[in-house]
Amino acid sequence: MATANLNTGTPEQFRLNSRFLTFTFRGHRLPRIEACVRVSHAFRQCALAAYQTVTGSRESFLLSGHCTDGEPDGEHRHAYYLPISDGQTSITGLVVAVPDARYVDDELRALNLIRAIRWNGPNTQLSVEMVGDAEDSVRLIASNWTSATPYVPLRRYWGTHGKRHLSPDRQLAAEFESRIGVRCEVQAITAVPERVFVRVGSPRRNGPLPTPTRRAFRLRIRTVVPIRGPLVLGHSAHFGLGQFIPDRSG
């Protein structure tokens, strides 16, 4: 059972000084949860455009996820753009979460400027409103967690013989222990019928084009000790895939 008791000894993915800003969406047709990466990417683009309006530059490490040399941040210290579901099929908002740092004033000013996003063409515009910090509602403690959005393994898994270590459950368990420092047990796993859209980088020079969709899974996990959320893992985690919520089903 989840609780909001913020015991400082509880393992966590996001630090206690993290900040979580919540935004609500309004529109004639809210996007489905399967569009979470497209929605999150559109929000990030708007955030960077707003930051450029404020500062004259798009070079915000927290908002962009790129270091000063242009290379992507490999330590996951930059912002996560995490869509909020209505508990059924639609995305009703988004949380911008920073793991272990605080926003600077220019970044907050930029995020306050966002009034609308268009995530997939002219008929997909959504009105955006910042409603403030969401720390109490997202920093829950639990031992049992279940998928809120599809989990995509970091490395592709084709079921190849001899590569059992690449199976989705083992990839998740290894990433979980590496990122959070405790073990978890995958208690249930189900493949998502459709391939899921993921955020991929630019194609390598003279190399193959990156594949924008991957196999995805829904999982139920149990941790060896209670951990504090939010919990988000796997491919395109910074764009909303691989979110887990406390499982209260039993």
For residue 205, what pLDDT is reported? 58
- Identify residue 183 by its one-letter amino acid code: R
CA 209 to chain centre: 24
Tell whether omega for the bond before 230 is within 30 degrees of 0, i.e. cis: yes
pLDDT tier for residue 200 given thresholds of 50, 70 and 90: confident
Q: Which of the residue ranges 19-33, 38-52, 75-89, 211-225 would you say has the lowest mean pLDDT?
A: 75-89
**Residue-level pLDDT at 159:** 62
Tell me what pLDDT residue 3 has: 42
How confident is the model over 34-41, as a mean pLDDT? 93
Q: Is the pLDDT of residue 59 over 70?
A: yes
pLDDT of 73 reads: 77
The residue-averaged pLDDT of 100-125 equals: 90
pTM, entire model: 0.88
The 10s digit of each residue's pLDDT in 154-168 is: 987 766 565 777 889
Inter-residue contact 18 to 136 (CB < 8 Å) = no
- pLDDT at residue 170 is higher than 60: yes
DSSP letters, the chain, are --B----TTS-BSS-TT-EEEEEEEE-SSPPBGGGHHHHHHHHHHHHHHHHHHHHS----HHHH-B-TTSPBPSS--S-EEEEEE-SSSBEEEEEEEESS----HHHHHHHHH--EEESSSGGGEEEEEEEEE-HHHH--EEEEEEESS-B--SS-----TT-GGGSHHHHHHHHHHHHHSS-EEEEEEEE-SSPEE----PPPTTSPPPPSEE--EEEEEEEEEEEES-EE-STTGGGTTTEEEE----
pLDDT at 125: 92
Label residues 176-193 b or e (16+ Cβ within 10 Å = b): beeebeeebebeebeebe
158 compared with 47, residue with greater pLDDT: 47
> Does 225 have pLDDT greater than 50?
yes
138-153 tens-digit pLDDT: 788 999 999 999 999 9
